[in-house]
Structure formats: C-alpha cells, structure tokens
Amino acid sequence: MQKKYTLLIITTCLTILIGSFLWIRYFENKNDQLNSSEVKDYQGQDLSSISDFRENSIKGPQYINKEDYVLTITSSAKGNITYTYDDVLTKHKNYEKVVNLHCVEGWSVTILWKGILVNDLINESGVDADTKIVIFRAIDGYTTSLPLDFIIENDIIIAHKMNNVTLSPERGFPFQLVAESKWGYKWIKWITQIELSNDESFRGFYESRGFSNDADVDE
C-alpha cells in the first residue's frame, strides 16, 4: 500500500514538472515570435508593411545563402576587402531610421530601417583623395551609384532589417541600400560589392537607360 502511494506521488510530481517545463517552452517561443515580428509604428509614426512593396526586380528575387555570402569593398588604396554577413553586422555600429522609398512607378512605403553606415565600411578600406562616387553592384547584375559626399552628409546605410525583421530574399537579403531622398532605383538590393571610384561618368542599370543619375525625389 505504502509503495503504491509513493509511486503515485512520484508520477504526479513528474507530470507537473514536465508539464510546466513544456508550458514555459511554449510561452518562450511565443515571445520570440512577438519580438521578431514586424513593428507597425515607430515613435508615434505609422509605418507601412513589408507586404506593401511591389516586386519588380530585373531578374526577380535572388536567394543568397548567408553562409556563402561575401561583401567586397573595392578601392585603389587597398584593393579588395571582404566581409562575411556576420562581420558586417557585429563588427560595426548599427543605426535605425524611418525613411520613405518612392518608386518611379508611383508607389511609396514608409519603413523603419536598421543597418550599417556605408561610410564606416569604406573608411576601413581607405578612401582615396580622388574618390568621387561610390558604385554598388548586386548579385543579379544590377548596379547603381551615389556621390561620396552625399553618402557622408546623409549618413547613408545599407540595411539588413526593415520594421525589425531581417530582410527576406524578395526584399534584398542580405543588404539593401537606403538611398533616402532618391528614387527607388537607387535602392539596390542583394548588394555584393561597394566600389570607390573617380569615374563620374559611371551610370547604373536604370541610369544608363534614361533615368536621372541624380534621382532626387521632391516630396
């Protein structure tokens, strides 16, 4: 009789223990999901949703494997410097800002962007005195450029998160240029190379097809 009771007590205790462990795990996962889900507003400002973008990239979405990814910074001072995805994120200060993206096709989004200053990256590669423009290249063959002065004066970042969520392949994983106050075609996605150049006659993909190289949006 005594033995039976002891067994009952032990199994009851074990059930309660395992049960609460599972509950805790369940709520932890729920919290993780909440933390990583999209934010809807930032400091009182309404944000658009990630799903408000229209996907019309020249070759469709690109699927870059984080483990294989390399970002190359090219300058005449130091040649090629390469970074892994984690190098870029963890070895540099992260910044956040709310910026509007306007496509020439007539749609816009307001997004909270998080990323690294382009200036921080290129300073490590040594900026030559004759550098005038910064050329960006992407895995789909897309290209664009911005003046170096513009990048420095406006704290231009390459983003790895929008609305607190890591960029999806469709949205440009691993990095999209946040070319604030410039038309959407300057916001290059899937960036693989950043090159310091003195070639002011360089024109990117759309810029060489008749779109303005300044690409200023008058909001």
Ligand X SMILES: Nc1nc2c(c(=O)[nH]1)N[C@H]1C(S)=C(S)[C@@H](COP(=O)(O)O)O[C@H]1N2
Place of tokens 């800002």: 97
By CB under 5 A, name the one of 62, 97, 98, 103 that touches Mo ion: 103
Question: Taking CB within 5 to 8 Å according to partner kind, which of ligand X, Mo ion, none is near residue 54?
Answer: ligand X
User: Least distance (Å) from Mo ion to the CB of residue 185?
Assistant: 5
Q: Which is nearer to Mo ion, 136 or 185 (CB)?
A: 185
Place of tokens 């992260």: 94
Place of tokens 């990256």: 121
Stretch that binds ligand X, among 6-14, 16-24, 29-37, 182-190 (CB under 6 A): 182-190
Q: Which is nearer to ligand X, 69 or 187 (CB)?
A: 187
> What is the end-to-end Cα distance of the chain in Å, rounded?
84
Taking CB under 6 A as the rule, does residue 51 contact ligand X? no
Reported as type and span, the H/E element at residue 176 is strand 176-177
Taking CB under 6 A as the rule, does residue 152 contact ligand X? no
Strands of 56-142 (E only): list them: 71-75, 79-83, 94-102, 108-117, 133-138
Site for ligand X in 98-137 (CB under 6 A): 103
Q: Would the CA dihedral through 99, 95, 140, 48 be positive or negative?
A: negative
Taking CB under 5 A as the rule, does residue 127 contact Mo ion? no
Looking at residue 53, the DSSP 8-state letter turns out to be: -
By CB under 6 A, name the one of 185, 192, 195, 207 that touches ligand X: 185
Taking CB under 6 A as the rule, does residue 159 contact ligand X? no
